[in-house]
């Protein structure tokens, strides 16, 4: 039987994949329960097609490195652990490869808010580049999130990972997931701006 936190993650993975907010290549979601963190496993997209079960999730203490030795630990999970260690109020971390955000990640473009629903995120910027799956990337993500604590409290703070995707941190899992879709829609609006307005 999946507990509340596991159910949240499983449902979110399916939803993100269905809505093209992440892909088969990757993404990684986690939720914090006190000193414990539940996290999607490696190959959540490629092997599981985001059809996760409670047994497939990786669980451990966010303050320790033990869960990183689990064979199913996603190496993208380092960023999550570093976020929990540096921002004690964060309860949820969502890393994804959203369809409409990917061009902004690819070309180094910030995402300026053009919808009322995204004003609260401010201009979403890139962190310093580092190869995927490295602990260096985790440090760069934390550095880029510094100073965005007010956004985490409001809904979520977001950072674009160069050539890769996006990562969000928030105090509430559902609100953080909601932020992901808002930002993806905002990215779509930016993408079609020229074709609509000339």
What distances in angstroms separate CA 96 from CA 3, 64, 176, one per listed residue?
A: 23, 24, 12
Q: Which segment (18-26, 47-55, 84-92, 173-181) binds Zn ion by CB under 5 A? A: 18-26
Instruction: Output the smallest distance, CB 8 to Zn ion, in A.
Output: 20
Q: Which is nearer to Zn ion, 50 or 113 (CB)?
A: 50
Is the alpha carbon torsion for 54, 60, 63, 68 positive or negative? negative
Secondary structure (3-state) at 24 = coil
Question: Using CB under 5 A as the criterion, what x/- string covers residues 137-176 for binding Zn ion?
Answer: ----------------------------x-----------
By the rule CB under 5 A, 26 interacts with Zn ion = yes
Instruction: Output the smallest distance, CB 26 to Zn ion, in A.
Output: 4
Over 28-73, what HEC string results? EEEEEECCEEEECCCCCCCCCCCCCCHHHCEEEECCCCHHHHCCCC
| Chain residues 36-75 in contact with Zn ion, contact rule CB under 5 A | none
- Which residue's CB comes closest to Zn ion? 26
Write down how long the chain is: 198
Instruction: Output the smallest distance, CB 196 to Zn ion, in A.
Output: 30
Percentage helix, strand, coil for the chain under 3-state DSSP, each rounded to 5: 45, 15, 40
Instruction: Output the smallest distance, CB 169 to Zn ion, in A.
Output: 15
Q: Which is nearer to Zn ion, 61 or 125 (CB)?
A: 125
Q: Which is nearer to Zn ion, 52 or 113 (CB)?
A: 52
Give every CB contact of residue 131 below 8 A, 6+ residues apart in sequence: 137
Instruction: Output the smallest distance, CB 132 to Zn ion, in A.
Output: 6
Full DSSP string of 100-112: TTHHHHHHT--B-
Residue with tokens 């990972």: 161
Instruction: Output the smallest distance, CB 40 to Zn ion, in A.
Output: 11
Q: Which is nearer to Zn ion, 78 or 113 (CB)?
A: 78
Q: Which is nearer to Zn ion, 28 or 171 (CB)?
A: 28
Which residues of the shown chain bind Zn ion in the complex (CB under 5 A)? 26, 165
């Amino acid at each position: 039987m999946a507990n509340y936190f596991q159910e949240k993650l499983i449902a979110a993975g399916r939803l993100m994949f269905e809505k093209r907010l992440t892909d088969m290549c990757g993404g990684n979601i986690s939720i914090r329960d006190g000193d414990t963190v539940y996290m999607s496993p490696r190959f959540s997209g490629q092997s599981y097609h985001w059809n996760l079960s409670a047994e497939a999730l990786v669980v451990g203490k966010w303050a320790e490195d033990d869960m990183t030795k689990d064979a199913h630990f996603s190496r993208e999970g380092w960023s999550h652990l570093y976020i929990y260690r540096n921002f004690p109020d964060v309860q949820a971390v969502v890393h994804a490869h959203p369809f409409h955000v990917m061009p902004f990640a690819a070309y180094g473009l910030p995402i300026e808010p053009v919808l009322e629903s995204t004003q609260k995120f401010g201009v979403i910027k890139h962190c310093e580049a580092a190869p995927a799956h490295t602990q260096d990337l985790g440090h760069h993500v934390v550095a880029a999130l510094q100073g965005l604590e007010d956004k985490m409290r409001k809904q979520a703070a977001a950072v674009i990972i160069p050539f890769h995707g996006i990562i969000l941190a928030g105090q509430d899992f559902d609100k953080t997931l909601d932020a992901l879709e808002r930002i993806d829609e905002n990215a779509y609006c930016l993408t079609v701006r020229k074709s609509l307005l000339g």
